[in-house]
Amino acid sequence: MKVFDKLYRIVSGIWLGSIVFFSGVIAPQIFKNLPKADAANLQNHLFPFYYIVGSVAGFLLVGLQFPAKKKKLWWIALATTLAVVGFTVLTPLIRDAYLTQSDSMKWLHPLAVGLNVVMMICVLVAI
């Protein structure tokens, strides 16, 4: 069981680190240092990978956690669901809004930020 605990901590640490680093460091620097169109285009290419990493980490953590601590399982399940929704729903909406220059970016960006904050809190609580 100690091996599963160590794997759980490693995977959850990688996931939490990717959330903090990408959302708190990389994304703001991209928009600070690139023209808006180039920054948005780059983000549209990076976010699917970001959410795939979260989804894979989440499914691994559910598998590692399932036989043990059920309380943590709910937090990981919620964070995994948010990562999957980010990949399957939010990312395409944001990409399409960018391509069509839609006003929906006014609410999609805050929604994406909120999703990432809740996902980060869930992973943090589950460590």
For Cα atoms 115, 103, 107, give the angle at the middle one, nearest 5 degrees: 20
Q: pLDDT tens digits, residue range 62-111?
A: 887 766 667 788 899 999 999 999 999 998 998 888 888 888 888 988 89
The pTM assigned to this predicted structure is 0.86
Collapsing DSSP to helix, strand or coil, 127 comes out as: coil
Domain range summary for the chain, segments of one domain joined by +: 2-126
Instruction: Tell me how far apart the alpha carbons of residues 14 and 40 are, in angstroms, rounded to a whole number.
Output: 25
Q: CA 83: distance to chain centroid? A: 5
Q: In a 10 Å sphere around its CB, with 0-12 CB exposed, 13-18 middle and 19+ buried, how is residue 65 labelled?
A: buried
Q: pLDDT tens digits, residue range 8-47?
A: 889 999 999 999 999 889 988 998 999 988 888 888 888 8
Q: Which helix (H) or strand (E) holds 13?
A: helix 2-21
